[in-house]
Amino acid sequence: MHDIAPSHRWRDDYDSAQDKNSPFHGRVYDEFYYTQKIYDHFIHPHWDEFGSQTLYLKILYADYELGFAVFEMLGEWNDCLYNDVMFLKRDVADELIRHGIHKFILIGENVLNFHGSDDCYFEEWYDDVKDDDGWICLLNLFPHVEEEMKDTHLHYYANFGRQFNEVNWRMLRPRDLLLKVESLMQKRLK
């Protein structure tokens, strides 16, 4: 797992450590010293800890003018034992919402497992952004992760599914990714 680094493709356009509105503003990353772990596996030092014991993220991009942010996730998402979504909502999303972000793209291709509890924090998150035509979208989930999210009824508050699992986001610029996700949502509504 230590070889899985957050994408750096958009780093020239955005750096959460340099963004005064980011909950990770001012963080300094060691390029070589690995201290963070998921269970007994060290992870790349560029992932950001936000209160979860098993889930890390990186804000790859935030655009306050268009009101969207892109997160890349890594680890085991465990709402059942550790209430990871509470930390994600309270310590990351709420901070960005205060500064005008109302559209959230979460890249889940490195979320290895999901253990759901209930949908309360997703409902709250959705309620916080829906009045600004906001939304939450999860991309590129493993089938077993998607099934557990459906079993927890998260599909009432977040967009995910087959059409969102085939997005080649790495080939897109951030604003193009936003347009792609919004296009998929429109097709889904039709």
Q: Are 116 and 152 within 8 A, CB to CB?
A: yes
Rounded distance, CA 163 to CA 160, Å? 8
Domain contains 136: yes
Q: Rounded to 10 degrees, what is the CA torsion of 17, 19, 21, 25?
A: 20
117: alpha, beta or left, given left = phi > 0 and alpha = psi -120 to 50?
Answer: alpha
Q: Looking at residue 146, which CATH number applies to its domain?
A: 3.30.750.24
Which runs of E-coded beta strand occur in 64-128?
68-78, 103-107, 111-115
Helix (H) or strand (E) holding 57: strand 55-63
Cα four-point dihedral sign 150, 152, 158, 164 = negative
Domain contains 18: no
Q: What is the pTM of this model?
A: 0.96
- What integer pLDDT is reported at residue 131 of this predicted model? 94
Structural domain of 162: 37-189
Indicate the number of domains in the chain.
Answer: 1
- What integer pLDDT is reported at residue 32 of this predicted model? 82
Domain contains 119: yes
pLDDT digits (tens, 9 = 90+) for 142-189: 999 999 999 999 999 999 999 999 999 999 999 999 999 999 999 876
Q: Are 17 and 29 within 8 A, CB to CB?
A: yes
Domain contains 109: yes
Which pair of structure tokens corresponds to residue 18?
């340099």
Domain contains 19: no
Helix (H) or strand (E) holding 51: none
pLDDT digits (tens, 9 = 90+) for 107-149: 999 999 999 999 999 999 999 999 999 999 999 999 999 999 9
